[in-house]
Chain A
Amino acid sequence: MPSISRDEVAHLARLARLAVTDDELDLFAGQLDVILQSVATVGDIATADIPPTSHAVPLTNVFREDAVRPSLGQQQALAGAPAAEDGRFRVPRILGEEA
């Protein structure tokens, strides 16, 4: 039995904001199933008593002095924008018709 269905892959694509095509769904469903079945072996040795490691080096909060330092200017920040207007990023509407 596959570990992931075509519908589940379609759902994942929606969550990840990827407007995948039907052909891609066919391809990815098979490939993701093979990959997920293979990586699921981590469960074989991951017993309850083992603590998880999120990071190779222990992390503590790193604070810096609250000092003013140079940053990007408005022009620089907008230089790579797909669209800008009145010195701001111009974006498509963020609310749906029904909202």
Chain B
Amino acid sequence: MSDLIRSTAAELAAKIASREVSAVEVAQAHLDRIAEVDGSVKAFLHVDAEGALAAARRVDEDVAAGNAPASPLAGVPLALKDVFTTEGVPTTCGSKMLEGWRPPYDATVTRRLKEAGVVILGKTNMDEFAMGSSTENSAYGPTRNPWDLDRIPGGSGGGSSASLAAFEAPLAIGTDTGGSIRQPGSVTGTVGVKPTYGGVSRYGLVAFSSSLDQAGPCARTVLDAALLHEIIAGHDPLDSTSVDAPVPPVVAAAREGANGDLTGVRVGVVTQFSGEGYQPGVLRSFEAAVAQLKQLGAEIVEVSCPSFDYALPAYYLIAPSEASSNLARFDAMRYGLRVGDDGTRSAEEVMSLTREAGFGAEVKRRIMIGTYALSSGYYDAYYGSAQKVRTLISRDFESAFATVDVLVSPTTPTTAFRIGERTGDPMAMYKADLCTIPANLAGNAAMSVPSGLSDEDGLPVGLQIMAPALQDHRMYRVAAAYEAARDAALGHTVISQVPQLEGAAR
């Protein structure tokens, strides 16, 4: 396997800037890798080889002209979740509804990546409209976990996480509404970050649940995630909920954390997130991670957040309610699929036939739950109560962060489950988001960093670190310190243990 595809993004950027390797060579190495293994991983819905090589050539020309790099990640390839609009490049959101759609504009995240000289390799697979925890809800078939091709890569951003673990890209972008960046990171042994709500623009991010949706960076190291975070974050006048404040200094925090000292840092262990329903190997990995944080000098305390037990039901009312409204835009009139327009049917009939044909089962379920929860007569009992739970969850975070700097928990209760294992039982699938949802409801920052492999099945486990709103740098510092200590204790990185894929070059 070529060294280029195993390198970190930071290493690649340095080599490209010093002309040790060209951006075109780096892009080609990753395109070759995709051609070699994506037939079995299926991380990508669309590979834009031409666009990637053209972007890489521009970076090389820039370097040759003696210009300063456009960003600390200039020339580094990236896999973009297919929920962001890309001008002229297909954007499907994993749905038949948008098959073949080529957006007429770039999302702000897309634009910032391009301006930073990041090379976008293509668009990654996802649960339809980001609704799911396994990528099995994609209309284009599931993505497979490079650690075990019979298992799920997490969801909704399973294409992004799998592309990292398969060494198809060193960087990826995800979106996290209830855990769709962190849970895929956890089950693939990669790093996934949900920034503070409003930290990264939602302009051009196809909306699922607008008060929860947050884009964020995915990578194989904490530093790479931080470097990408600083490129995509920042105020955007095109997003009315974008936070108009300086981007938290996450790169400096990651570098500081790598020095390995957490003296004086208070870490709270959320007592609600253990016990029944948690895989024993996941809990053992979590406990070992907490012990490691203690060794680094952190002070460990137990913190009770009682309302977190109600986060899952609140989320599965709020998110579907917002989704039922957001997805009303798919009306077969202005873009996307249209079915049954035979000259006799009315717009309403065509709309209903189109939505029936274009949406998958999970999307339909959520639209109907949301429609129900927002109906008069049920509004107070369902949506209204869920909004009150949201208040209680924010209060629990506030009181926790009054005594600790960060909170930790397992990212998700189990390791990667088998493809097909939970598709017939929506509630079992929803439980994958148990630990990640509170941070979406309260809007604060949270991330997942690998905590090694579960001793019972050899599959990756994630440590979730949560920080207060706009204090994203706190969790990066803890994550980088933990990552360095973990690698030193193991004698290697977690991702280096991923099995060689079929068809990989020898």
Contact = CB atoms under 8 A, between A and B. Distances in A.
Interface of A: 4, 8-9, 12-21, 24, 27-28, 31-32, 34-36, 38-47, 50-57, 59, 62, 64, 72, 76-77, 79-83, 89, 91-96
B347 A52 contact: no
A46 B388 contact: yes
B402 interface: no
B328 to A, nearest CB: 8
Interface string B283-313: 0000000000000000000000001001001
A7 B387 CA distance: 28
Nearest to B381: A43
A93 B391 CA distance: 45
Contact of B197 (A46, A57, A89): A57
Contact of A4 (B336, B346, B350, B372): B372
Interface string B377-406: 000011011111111101000000000000
B422 to A, nearest CB: 13
Tell me whether chain B's interface is mostly helix, strand or loop, or mixed.
Answer: helix
Given A80-B102, A91-B333, A31 B365 contact: yes
B104 A53 contact: no
Interface residues of B, number: 69
A52 B313 contact: no
B430 to A, nearest CB: 8
B313 A41 contact: yes
Given A42-B382, A50-B391, A82 B338 contact: yes
A50 B368 contact: no
B351 interface: yes
B369 A35 contact: yes
B114 to A, nearest CB: 17
Given A40-B313, A80-B104, A94-B347, A46 B385 contact: yes
B427 interface: yes
A32 B365 contact: yes
A4 B373 CA distance: 12
Contacts of B356: 18-21
Interface of B: 101-105, 197-198, 211-212, 237, 240-241, 243, 307, 310, 313-314, 316-317, 324, 331-338, 341, 343, 345-353, 355-356, 359, 361, 364-365, 367-369, 371-372, 381-382, 384-392, 394, 426-427, 441-444, 469
Contact of B368 (A32, A53, A94): A32
Contacts of B336: 80, 82
A39 B390 contact: no
A77 B103 CA distance: 9
B391 A92 contact: no
A54 B353 CA distance: 32
A81 B338 CA distance: 9
A53 B394 CA distance: 9
A14 B349 CA distance: 10
B311 to A, nearest CB: 10
Residue with the highest number of chain B CB atoms closer than 10 Å, among A53, A54, A59, A76: A53
B350 A81 contact: no
